[in-house]
């Protein structure tokens, strides 16, 4: 039996393909060296494309939703959302209360010449630490994030980002994480405090430690 895909899923896939093309466009824009007349011509083409997309617009990006396989996804997220051109997008894998993601920054992310902007690294770590807290049952908002920049982060190289939940106290929980090279050299590390807002639904009770 063939199960037909919903129109919604098919459209979302098209939206993610558009977002990926926009990422390619951003990369190309960052690195292009074509003559001025070509820059002007491309700008005109993009202005027209932008107007076509604005012909019908939402008030906010794609929300949290359940995918057809039952998993929770947030396609509009600035770090992980495949429908958000700003996102790398990071594919976060969970292992208990730890999370990991392969990361490859692009020239687009340059801060100091030849390496990644510190705010971009902080954003990735903020998200990953938050997901580690959530994976441990303590989903919350970032209350504080302390980042230590140990070595410049290169773009273009295959890197690894990891994080784990470390402890919890009432609505507060802590996580730590790092961005490292494939051979295990830590480039940036961070610790974060995440607080579950009182208004959020109560989490299920956590088993006692020990």
Ligand X SMILES: CCCCCCCCCC(=O)SCCNC(=O)CCNC(=O)[C@H](O)C(C)(C)COP(=O)(O)OP(=O)(O)OC[C@H]1O[C@@H](n2cnc3c(N)ncnc32)[C@H](O)[C@@H]1OP(=O)(O)O
Q: Which residue is nearest to ligand X (CB)?
A: 130
Answer for the pair 14, 8: CB distance below 8 angstroms, yes or no: no
Smaller CB separation from ligand X, 134 or 187: 134
Q: What are residue 64's DSSP bridge partners?
A: 74
Task: Determine, following the binding rule CB under 6 A, whether residue 23 of this chain makes contact with ligand X.
Answer: no
Looking at 172, 181, 191, 203, which residue binds ligand X (CB under 6 A)? 172
Answer for the pair 87, 20: CB distance below 8 angstroms, yes or no: no
159: phi then psi, degrees, rounded to nearest 5: -120, 170
Alpha-carbon gap, residue 131 to 98, rounded angstroms = 8
Task: Determine, following the binding rule CB under 6 A, whether residue 141 of this chain makes contact with ligand X.
Answer: yes
Alpha-carbon gap, residue 91 to 4, rounded angstroms = 26
Alpha-carbon gap, residue 90 to 102, rounded angstroms = 7
Task: Determine, following the binding rule CB under 6 A, whether residue 189 of this chain makes contact with ligand X.
Answer: no
Task: Determine, following the binding rule CB under 6 A, whether residue 131 of this chain makes contact with ligand X.
Answer: yes
Looking at 143, 148, 150, 151, which residue binds ligand X (CB under 6 A)? 143
Smaller CB separation from ligand X, 115 or 135: 135
Binding interface with ligand X (CB under 6 A): 126-127, 130-131, 134, 139, 141-144, 170-172, 193, 195, 197-198
């Amino acid at each position: 039996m063939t199960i037909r895909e919903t129109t919604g899923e098919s459209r979302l896939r098209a939206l993610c393909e558009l977002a990926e093309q926009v990422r390619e466009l951003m990369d190309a824009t960052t690195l292009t060296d074509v003559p001025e007349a070509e820059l002007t011509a491309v700008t005109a083409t993009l202005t027209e494309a932008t107007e076509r997309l604005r012909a019908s617009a939402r008030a906010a990006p794609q929300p949290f939703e359940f995918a057809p396989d039952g998993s929770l996804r947030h396609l509009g997220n600035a770090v992980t959302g495949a429908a958000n051109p700003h996102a790398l997008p990071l594919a976060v894998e969970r292992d208990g209360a730890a999370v990991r993601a392969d990361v490859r920054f692009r020239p687009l992310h340059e801060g100091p010449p030849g390496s990644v902007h510190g705010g971009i690294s902080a954003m990735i770590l903020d998200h990953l630490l938050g997901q580690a807290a959530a994976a441990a049952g303590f989903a919350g908002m970032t209350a504080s994030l302390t980042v230590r920049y140990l070595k410049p982060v290169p773009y273009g190289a295959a890197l690894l980002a990891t994080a784990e939940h470390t402890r919890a106290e009432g609505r507060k929980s802590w996580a730590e994480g790092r961005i490292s090279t494939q051979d295990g050299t830590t480039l940036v590390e961070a610790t974060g405090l995440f607080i579950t807002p009182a208004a959020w639904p109560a989490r299920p009770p956590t088993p006692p430690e020990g």
